[in-house]
Amino acid sequence: MPVDDAPQVVAAGLGHRFTDGPWLFSELDLALRPNRTYALVGPSGSGKSTLLSILAGWVEPATGSLRRDGIDSIAWVFQNPLGVARRTAEDHVALPLLARGHSHRSARVEARTMLARVGLSHVASAPFANLSGGEAQRLMLARGLASRPDMLLVDEPTAQLDTTTAEDVNRAIAASAGHGSIVVIATHDRRTRDACTDVIELGRSA
């Protein structure tokens, strides 16, 4: 795909608040492009999750403009991993590949490749119910990337994890750059921030 035709998200003067409450953020300019991972950081109440919802088109910003060029598919990874208890890790990653038209065999091969990239080869055949919290979170990241979305939104992926497990997830986040998607990750975790290629910092405005 030529660079000029690549998906992108461009915001100018973006701001949001609820009714007459304080501004969560204002005058925010963004240019988000594929193959980058953006850490969305800021104190509690600065609007990180709200901005994710605005980027997805779920919430209209109070001010400013947002343009999504070539964004036809959006995937989410939420704080609490959701999966089918008896289905294997490989099944979870293969499903979006099958939905995109892969043969059963090629979906399985690609799923195993994706699992290896996030350090989950050792649990490829394990049912979701047997995965640890960190393994389940990395699985959701692999599944999100396997769907090849134009934009992948990730909300606080390490918020409920211990330090060692969070490091595994952060390594998977670092490995997600260059997969063709715009990846935006809301986080309080400095190490998650450091694992990303770019930083968007929000602060409460008066």
Residues 63 and 91 reside in one and the same domain: no
Residues 93 and 138 reside in one and the same domain: yes
CA distance 8 to 56: 13
Residue 81: closest CA among 38, 126, 144 = 144
Q: Quote the pTM value.
A: 0.83
What are 136-150's pLDDT values in tens digits? 988 988 888 888 889
Tell me which H or E stretch contains 152: strand 151-155
Length of the chain: 206
CA distance 38 to 177: 10
Residues 112 and 57 reside in one and the same domain: no
Residues 89 and 135 reside in one and the same domain: yes
User: Encoding tokens for residue 165?
Assistant: 């497990």
**Average of per-residue pLDDT across 47-73:** 92
Q: Which domain holds residue 66?
A: 1-73+153-206
Give yes or no for residue 115 having a pLDDT over 60.
Answer: yes
Alpha helices in 11-147, H assignment, sequence order: 48-56, 89-99, 104-117, 133-146
Percentage of the chain lying above the pLDDT 70 cut: 96
CA distance 168 to 164: 7
Q: How confident is the model at residue 4 (pLDDT cuts 50, 70, 90)?
A: low
CA distance 141 to 52: 16
Cα of first residue to Cα of last residue in the chain, in angstroms, is: 42
Give yes or no for residue 205 having a pLDDT over 50.
Answer: no
Residues 42 and 83 reside in one and the same domain: no
Residues 166 and 195 reside in one and the same domain: yes
Residues 99 and 189 reside in one and the same domain: no
pLDDT given for residue 11 in this prediction: 94
Residues 133 and 42 reside in one and the same domain: no
Q: How confident is the model at residue 19 (pLDDT cuts 50, 70, 90)?
A: confident
pLDDT given for residue 53 in this prediction: 93
Tell me which H or E stretch contains 68: strand 63-69
User: Encoding tokens for residue 98?
Assistant: 């099958």
pLDDT given for residue 22 in this prediction: 87
DSSP three-state, residue 17: coil
The CATH number of the domain holding residue 204 is 3.40.50.300
The count of domains in the chain is: 2
